[in-house]
Amino acid sequence: MTIYRFRNCTLMRNHALIIDDLWIRHGKIIDPEKIFFDEKIQANIEYDCQGVLIAPGYIDLQINGAFGHDFSSPNEVNENILIDVARKLTSHGVTAFLPTIVSSSIDTYKILLPKYKRQVGSAKDGATILGIHIEGPFLNEDKRGAHRTDFLRESPHGIEDLLSCYGSFDNVSIVTIAPEIPNMIENVIPILIEKYGLIVSIGHSMASLDIGERAICSGARFITHLFNAMLPFHHRDPGLVGLLTSHRLPATIVIHYGLIVDGIHTHSAAVRLAHRVHPQGLVLVTDAVPALGLPDGIYRMGADEIVVEKKRATIAGTQTLCGSIASLAECVQNMRQALLDGEINKSNEKKIFDDKDKNKFIVESIEAATVHPASVLHIENQKGTLSFGADADFILLDDKLNVLSTFIAGEQAWAVNDKWLINNLHIKSYQ
């Protein structure tokens, strides 16, 4: 079995940037000490990475479409759509994702959900498909955002009402619901988790902090796009935002929250606020619409027409945001910049950072798109990490966090140009 060694690089491992080599065998990251001392062999092929940063591949938990494809459209549904998006997402450093379906009709769910199956990623077929994220239709109408009112559903009596709506949870990983809807906390959330093994996210909600806390105690563990489509923070009732600092929840519970850091949905000051309060829960998501990767223009998402202009995507004829057109790689870069901007001193002169400060911002921004989303899905030992035994899904980044190359299962899936193709990485081969 061929052993690959990636050398002359910096690795993001164990919450730090370290100088080390990355060793790959059979699509997995391996411990070189066991190779040296137990098997007494060396790498068959070495790649000189020319001093770049190697990080885990990005994971997007909420993406509604991309490259002209709409995951909520029953008119174009087929497995080839997912494969096309999965391949093209590698150009943005994404090695795993959850196709997201917005509030739709019952007929649409029963067409879409059986088709969007989980799929292991590869260099040929692109990013891993980790299951579906269903966002709606059990949402609060007052915080529906871009979700159509006529698709929203009334209070369910129990889990059977959700099953009659969706048809099946077989291919589903995350469900976003509004916890204040009657019967959700008592009769729905626990069953979604215990019987079907789903991750319950709360969002598009008018819930108070108290209701949010009850939903968390009932089993919910994720908040859909924090700050967006929920009550704004208020000093007498912080709403769902207050969950980040709640003292009424068990200390063992880790709450994760999605954040759209595209420069449109969330101000950089809000990004810093959330990060400083609860950094370990921050998960970067794109909430991308079908226009991701395409120029300004008019597109469709679900049953709506959307307009994309100057990096803003809105429902046609309104100013209602309907998702982002930023890639996850851009969100990582934006978060790093937001953290850097927060260190500007009162005289508005840029603070001089040492390498430790700079590295901290890089690590925390990348972890928000790697190990944190993996933790939401309980796959942090397999994805979103460069730890020994994990899948060899990783990316090469320059000092500005531009993606240079993407690898899935140890094989190159994409390169920005010929220089970063695997054949040009100064290969040394040993037989």
Q: Which residues line the annotated binding site for substrate?
A: 146, 228-229, 236, 265, 321-323
What residues are designated binding site for Zn(2+)?
Answer: 135, 204, 225
Token pair in block for residue 34: 């066991």
Q: How far is it, in rounded angstroms, from Cα 223 to Cα 255? A: 8
What residues are designated binding site?
Answer: 135, 146, 204, 225, 228-229, 236, 265, 321-323
Of the candidates 60, 70, 262, 287, the residue annotated as catalytic is 287
Q: How far is it, in rounded angstroms, from Cα 328 to Cα 367? A: 12
Token pair in block for residue 35: 């190779």
Residue 29 near residue 55 (C-beta atoms within 8 A)? no
Buried b (16+ CB within 10 A) or exposed e, 82-113: bbbbbbbbbbbbbbbbbbbbbbbbeebbebbb
287 noted as active-site residue: yes
Q: How far is it, in rounded angstroms, from Cα 314 to Cα 107? A: 25
Q: Is the dihedral of CA 295, 301, 303, 309 positive or negative?
A: negative
Phi, psi at 176, each rounded to 5°: -100, 125
User: CA–CA distance from 425 to each of 43, 44, 266, 332 (Å)?
Assistant: 15, 15, 38, 25
Q: How far is it, in rounded angstroms, from Cα 97 to Cα 386? A: 18
- Strand-pair partners of 54: 11, 396
In the chain, what's the furthest Cα-to-Cα distance? 69
Buried b (16+ CB within 10 A) or exposed e, 213-248: bbbbebbbbbbbbbbbbbbebeeeebbbbbbbeeee
Q: How many C-beta atoms surround the C-beta of residue 270 within 10 A?
A: 17
Q: How far is it, in rounded angstroms, from Cα 108 to Cα 74? A: 6
Q: How far is it, in rounded angstroms, from Cα 159 to Cα 188? A: 5
Q: List Cβ neighbours of 396 (8 Å cut-off, separation of 6 or more).
A: 9, 49, 52, 53, 54, 403, 404, 405, 406, 420
Which residues participate in catalysis according to the annotation?
A: 287
